[in-house]
Amino acid sequence: MRSQPLPIAAALAGALLLLSGCGSKAPGAELFPLESGHRWTYEVRTDWEDQRVERETRRFETLGADDSLADGKAYVRRSDAGMDYWLRMDDSGVYRVASRSMAQAEPEADAARRYVLKAPLAVGTTWSAPTITYLLTRRQGFPAEVRHSAPPVPMNYVIEATGEAVETRAGRFEGCLRVQGKADLRLFADPVAGWKDVPLVTTEWYCPGVGLVKMKREEAAGSPMLLGGTVTMELLSWQ
């Protein structure tokens, strides 16, 4: 999500030619289809620490390249939650450059590239991107959702494995790449524990020709004053 289903699922995937039009494929092309006509449907399951379980369906589609941005063309990906994302791909990997919510008339450029997959696509490759908490909630107080008051923090990503097999309800996928991201969010947990670092952990699986097939986000509160949980996004169908 990198993400963005809850706003988590920046669920991004597949195979595309370089924007330069030279005809050769950039790193990540087989793991991230951005050309128009692709659609993905996911189940998003939230397991809260208070034993509640919530389920919803999220859909994403690729709209192809457009020239909405001042610095040139980018590929647009749309979520049925009302978010548009502009992405590019070059020899350094796949990265987001802008986004737009339903409340925004124009796309808002990212301050820096937000990598989804960074080259080389090999175990040990690392990068960083800002993240927010999506689940952490105060049991008392306002606003309840911590994301409305806590600033973004850097999440450090690493490619942990390649060539993995992943089982989903959309089928079994081979040759997949697994990425994990970790961040610490500094919060006032409670009067006894005081300030503490709350871990945010994301694991994503990208598979050739399909893209993101599964994502898991873990936000354990570790405090009686906070509520956390786990979000799992699993591919149901794609084209």
Q: Where is pLDDT greater, at 58 or 3?
A: 58
Confidence of residue 21 (pLDDT cuts 50, 70, 90): very low
Confidence of residue 224 (pLDDT cuts 50, 70, 90): confident
The 10s digit of each residue's pLDDT in 125-182 is 999 999 999 999 988 878 889 888 899 999 999 999 999 999 999 999 999 999 999 9
Q: How far is CA 180 from CA 117, 121, 139, 210, in A?
A: 11, 13, 29, 19
Specify whether the backbone of 230 is left (phi greater than 0), alpha (psi in -120 to 50) or beta.
beta
Rounded-to-integer distance, Cα 8 and Cα 131, Å: 10
Average pLDDT of the residues in 95-107: 95
Long-range CB pairs of 50-53 (<8 Å, 24+ gap) are 50/227
Confidence of residue 102 (pLDDT cuts 50, 70, 90): very high
| Whole-prediction pTM | 0.86
Q: Where is pLDDT greater, at 123 or 8?
A: 123
- In the predicted model, what is the mean pLDDT of the chain? 88
Rounded-to-integer distance, Cα 2 and Cα 130, Å: 9
Rounded-to-integer distance, Cα 151 and Cα 131, Å: 9
Most confident of 15-29, 30-44, 187-201: 30-44
Average pLDDT of the residues in 11-40: 59
- Name the residue among 219, 221, 223 with its Cα closest to residue 192: 223
Terminal Cα distance for the chain, rounded: 20
Specify whether the backbone of 49 is left (phi greater than 0), alpha (psi in -120 to 50) or beta.
alpha
Confidence of residue 11 (pLDDT cuts 50, 70, 90): very low
Domain boundaries, the chain: 6-238
- Name the residue among 11, 214, 50 with its Cα closest to residue 136: 50
